[in-house]
Structure 1
Amino acid sequence: MNKLKLNLQLACTNSSYIPKKIYIKRWLSIILYNLKIKTEITVRIVNKTEIKFLNYTYRNKNKVTNILSFPYQILNFMHTYLIGELVLCSQKIQEESIKQKKNINAHWAHMIIHGTLHLIGHDHINKTDQMNMESLEINYLKNLGFSNPYIKY
Structure 2
Amino acid sequence: MTPEIDLQIAVGDEAETALPSQSDLEDWVGAVLAHEGDTRHELTIRVVERDESQQLNRDYRGKDKPTNVLSFPFESPPGIELPLLGDLVICHDVVANEAQEQHKSIHDHYAHLVIHGCLHLLGYDHIDDDEAEQMETLERVLLTQFGIADPYRVVDSKPDA
Shift of 1:79: 5.9
Q: Give the whole-Å Cα distance in 1 for the aligned partners of 2:62 and 2:54.
A: 10
Across the aligned residues of Structure 1 and Structure 2, the Cα RMSD in angstroms comes to: 2.0
Q: Give the whole-Å Cα distance in 2 for the aligned partners of 1:83 and 1:37.
A: 9
Q: How does 1:122-141 map to 2 (within 5 A)?
A: 122-141=124-143
> SS at the partner of 1:45?
strand
Q: Give the whole-Å Cα distance in 1 for the aligned partners of 2:38 and 2:69.
A: 27
Letter in 1 for 2:41: T
Does the 8 Å CA contact 2:2/2:26 hold for their aligned counterparts?
A: no
Matched, 1:22 2:23: yes
Which runs of 5 or more residues in structure 1 are unaligned?
A: none
CA gap of 1:62–1:23, structure 2 versus 1, over 3 A, is: same
Counterpart in the other structure of 2:159? none
> SS at the partner of 2:133?
helix
Cα deviation digits, residues 26-62 of structure 1 (max 9, x gap): 1111011264645111000000010000000111100
Letter in 1 for 2:151: P
Shift of 1:83: 0.6
Counterpart in the other structure of 1:57? 59
Q: Which deviates more, 52-61 or 12-21?
A: 12-21
Shift of 1:73: 4.3
Q: Give the whole-Å Cα distance in 2 for the aligned partners of 1:124 and 1:68.
A: 14
CA gap of 1:142–1:73, structure 2 versus 1, over 3 A, is: farther
Rg larger for: 2
Shift of 1:3: 4.0
Shift of 1:94: 0.4
Letter in 1 for 2:124: H
> SS at the partner of 2:74?
strand
CA gap of 1:3–1:117, structure 2 versus 1, over 3 A, is: same
Shift of 1:80: 4.0
Letter in 1 for 2:10: A
> SS at the partner of 1:74?
coil
Q: Which has the higher strand share?
A: 1
Q: Percent identity?
A: 35
Does the 8 Å CA contact 2:11/2:47 hold for their aligned counterparts?
A: yes
Letter in 2 for 1:28: V
Give the ranges of 4+ consecutive aligned residues of structure 1 lying more than 6 Å apart after TM superposition: none
Letter in 2 for 1:101: H
Counterpart in the other structure of 2:48? 46
